[in-house]
């Protein structure tokens, strides 16, 4: 598997204070990239920044703050990136949540859909012009095989009508990731910016620990069956750096190989409709 020297390349990773995100940041920093970590907790973010610097031997690791459940904070994050960095070569949309119960953001959005899909949609669109100008550039969206358990109901994106079932809601958000990736790739064709998505595997991360006592009990019991964050990050690092996929777009990867995603993820009419619906929910111009 070929990897590239990323010296001079600027890479932004969301959800970078633990698990796959932190491991992805470390891997890209080891390849010489100037890495930008996005975190919502300042102390955890500072600790991760130092950890990535030490483990990679690369001091070009920055930290920006944003709570990705807030469209306003995402907009502020994008403005900081545009102000501070003359180029952006890789965007890894890695942040994600699992909620066993329905939760609503301060802005009134269902939290799983907001963080897992809308945040990716908004941030990518706000940074798209900079990625265009920095081409060749890459967008990497972390999805999941869980997308096969979900479906998109355009009339109930916030799960207000149906009974909340966490696996179905999580699966829908991961299906949205793939629909977004494929539609984005179609719109980016010929631009020098690629868009791909991936399933990282079942990884031992902190995902789901926000669910109180149940999450803290169940996750440690399952941990021996999970991949390590470093193993889970391999496909993200591959898509962000490998010359083998420099010109590849609109693909779904598992273990660094392109594999078929679900039939629903290839519904172009649904992808366009989801794009329009997402555009109504979050601002994508600054």
Tokens read off for 141: 């969206």
C-alpha dihedral (266, 141, 119, 56), degrees to nearest 10: 180
Q: Which of 170, 182, 238, 253 is catalytic?
A: 170
> 228 and 205 in contact (C-beta within 8 Å)?
no
- Asked if residues 80 and 191 have their Cβ atoms less than 8 Å apart, the reply is no
Which of the 8 DSSP states describes residue 11?
E
Q: What is the C-alpha separation between 15 and 52, in angstroms, rounded?
A: 14
Residue 80 CA from chain centroid, whole number: 19
For residue 103, the SS3 value is coil
Residues in the chain: 286
Residue environment code for 18-56, b if the CB has 16+ CB neighbours within 10 A, otherwise e: bbbbbbbbbbbbbbbbbbbbbbbeeeebebbbeebbeeb
Nearest residue to 78 via CA among 64, 92, 89, 90 = 64
Active site residue 170: yes
Q: Please report the DSSP string for 130-172 in residue order.
A: HHHHT-SEEEEEE--GGGGG----TT-TT-SSSPP-HHHHHHH
What residues act catalytically? Answer: 170
């Amino acid at each position: 598997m070929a990897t590239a020297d990323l010296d001079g390349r600027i890479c932004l990773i969301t959800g970078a204070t633990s698990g796959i995100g932190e491991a992805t940041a470390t891997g890209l920093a080891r390849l010489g990239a100037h890495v930008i970590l996005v975190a919502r907790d300042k102390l955890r973010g500072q600790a991760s920044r130092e950890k990535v610097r030490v483990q990679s031997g690369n001091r070009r690791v920055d930290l920006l703050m944003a709570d990705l459940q807030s469209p306003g904070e995402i907009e502020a994050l994008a403005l900081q990136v545009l102000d501070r960095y003359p180029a952006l070569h890789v965007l890894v949309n890695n942040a994600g949540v699992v909620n066993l119960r329905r939760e609503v953001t301060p802005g009134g959005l269902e939290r799983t859909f907001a963080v897992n899909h809308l945040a990716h949609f908004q941030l990518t669109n706000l940074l798209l012009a900079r990625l265009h100008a920095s081409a060749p550039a890459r967008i990497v969206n972390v999805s999941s095989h869980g997308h096969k358990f979900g479906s998109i109901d355009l009339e109930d994106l916030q799960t207000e009508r149906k009974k909340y079932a966490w696996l179905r809601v999580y699966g829908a958000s991961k299906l949205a990731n793939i629909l977004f990736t494929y539609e984005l790739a179609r719109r980016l064709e010929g631009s020098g910016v690629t868009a791909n998505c991936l399933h990282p595997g079942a990884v031992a991360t902190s995902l789901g620990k926000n669910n109180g006592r149940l999450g803290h009990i169940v996750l440690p019991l399952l941990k021996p069956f999970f991949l390590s964050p470093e193993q889970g990050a391999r496909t993200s690092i591959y898509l962000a750096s490998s010359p083998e996929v420099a010109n590849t777009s609109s693909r779904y990867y598992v273990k660094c190989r392109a594999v078929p995603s679900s039939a629903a993820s290839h519904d172009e009419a649904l992808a366009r409709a989801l794009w329009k619906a997402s555009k109504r929910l979050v601002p994508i111009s600054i």
